[in-house]
């Protein structure tokens, strides 16, 4: 099958982590107005089924277009938003915006794509998180079964009160739970035992070394096997090369996400992709919104 190439999605971040450390104060205060000023937006990266290479889901990823500095990486500004507590209102906006988008695409293209949304530590500790998610689902009409909340393994279960309870409540609501960046934290196995997770996302630092480092290959292989024995599905992140693809296919990794298939796409580009796919499948063409 053809690889889905992202167009116009490649952006170089101008702000380095060093710059961010030095200008943290200025960035933090600017971030306070980013949401209200419309400087935040979401891009969506497809996730494909390993066998068919068909799009089965997408991950919503946050972008900040700073008026003077240009695009700033979430790896830089999400930590700042956590320090200031801003991640809570920003996270609510992400949830509502992404759920609304997924619901709109389901209606318009007739595709039931799963939507992955990242949650930060601060959001996960909020006792009102389940209510916030419930409201986002109600307001947008998205089926809870299509929403998958991604929890990064770098959050310590012990240091995060309410985390387990919140995830259990979300799971009961019918949402999926994915463990993000699997293998990078200190407590991967603890996470698997204590959280109601349906899926594991193998971190890209391991995937990158497929074909390079036999130890990392062994970790990927073992992670997939363990996940399957525990009846969890596995997504590999950061799939960039045909060699990665061949290895992950051989190991029966369920789904793949990475530049080999598609970069994170702005809304219009994602819609073009969905329209192409719809035509390919011989479905009636959607009426433009």
Q: Which residues bind Mg ion (CB under 5 A)?
A: 118, 150, 180-181, 237
Rule CB under 6 A: choose which of 61, 72, 102, 197 binds ligand C2E: 61
Helix (H) or strand (E) holding 190: helix 188-194
User: Please, which of residues 3-42 interact with ligand C2E by CB under 6 A?
Assistant: none
Site for ligand C2E (CB under 6 A): which residue of 27, 56, 58, 62? 62
# chain residues binding ligand C2E, by CB under 6 A: 26
Within residues 230-249, the interface with ligand C2E by CB under 6 A covers 237-240
Q: Which stretch binds ligand C2E (CB under 6 A): 29-37, 192-200, 251-259, 268-276?
A: 251-259
> Residue 264 touches which of Mg ion, ligand C2E, none (CB < 5 to 8 A by kind)?
ligand C2E
- Return the one option of Mg ion, ligand C2E, none that residue 271 interacts with (CB less than 5 to 8 A, by type): none
Rg (CA), the chain: 19
Ranges within 133-192 binding ligand C2E (CB under 6 A): 150, 152, 180-181
Token pair of 23, please?
Answer: 């200008």
Q: What are phi and psi of 62, to 5 degrees?
A: -80, 140
CA 223, CA 226: separation in Å to the nearest integer?
Answer: 5
Q: Which is nearer to ligand C2E, 18 or 229 (CB)?
A: 18
Q: Residue 187 burial by CB count (10 A; 0-12/13-18/19+): exposed, middle or buried?
A: middle
Shortest Cβ distance from residue 39 to Mg ion (Å)?
Answer: 21
Closest CA to 131 of 169, 163, 100: 169
The nearest distance, CB 191 to ligand C2E, in angstroms, is 15
Contact 202, 224 (CB under 8 A): yes
Of the two residues 130 and 264, which places its CB atom closer to ligand C2E in the complex? 264
Closest CB to Mg ion among residues 181, 254: 181
Q: At what angle do helices 87-109 and 74-84 cross, to 10 degrees?
A: 130
Strand locations in the chain (E): 40-49, 55-66, 70-72, 114-119, 147-152, 176-182, 199-202, 233-236, 255-256
Cβ 63 to ligand C2E, closest distance in Å?
7
Question: Which residue's CB is nearer to Mg ion, number 160 or number 286?
Answer: 160
Q: Which of 47, 50, 73, 97 binds ligand C2E (CB under 6 A)?
A: 73
What are the tokens at 135?
Answer: 């409201």
């Amino acid at each position: 099958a053809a690889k889905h190439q992202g167009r116009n999605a490649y952006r170089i971040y101008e702000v380095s982590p060093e710059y961010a450390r030095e200008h943290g104060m200025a960035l933090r205060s600017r971030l306070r107005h980013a949401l209200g000023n419309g400087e935040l937006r979401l891009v969506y990266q497809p996730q494909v089924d390993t066998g068919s290479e068909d799009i089965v889901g997408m991950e919503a990823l946050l972008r900040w277009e700073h008026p003077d500095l240009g695009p700033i990486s979430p790896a830089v500004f999400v930590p700042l938003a956590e320090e200031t507590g801003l991640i809570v209102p920003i996270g609510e906006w992400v949830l509502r915006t992404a759920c609304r988008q997924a619901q709109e695409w389901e209606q318009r293209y007739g595709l039931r794509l799963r939507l992955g949304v990242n949650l930060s530590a601060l959001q996960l500790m909020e006792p009102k998180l389940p209510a916030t998610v419930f409201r986002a689902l109600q307001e947008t009409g998205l089926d809870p079964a299509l929403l998958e909340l991604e929890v990064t393994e770098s959050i310590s279960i012990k240091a995060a009160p309410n985390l387990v309870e919140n995830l259990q409540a979300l799971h009961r609501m019918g949402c999926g739970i994915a463990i993000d960046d699997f293998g990078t934290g200190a407590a991967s196995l603890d996470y698997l035992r204590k959280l109601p997770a349906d899926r594991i996302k193998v971190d890209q630092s391991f995937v990158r070394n497929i074909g390079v480092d036999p130890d990392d290959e062994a970790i990927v292989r073992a992670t997939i096997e363990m996940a399957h024995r525990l009846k969890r599905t596995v997504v590999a992140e950061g799939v960039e090369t045909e060699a990665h693809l061949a290895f992950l296919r051989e190991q029966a990794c369920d789904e793949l996400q990475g530049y080999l298939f598609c970069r994170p796409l702005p809304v219009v580009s994602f819609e073009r992709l969905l329209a192409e796919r719809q035509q390919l499948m011989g479905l009636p063409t959607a009426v433009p919104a």
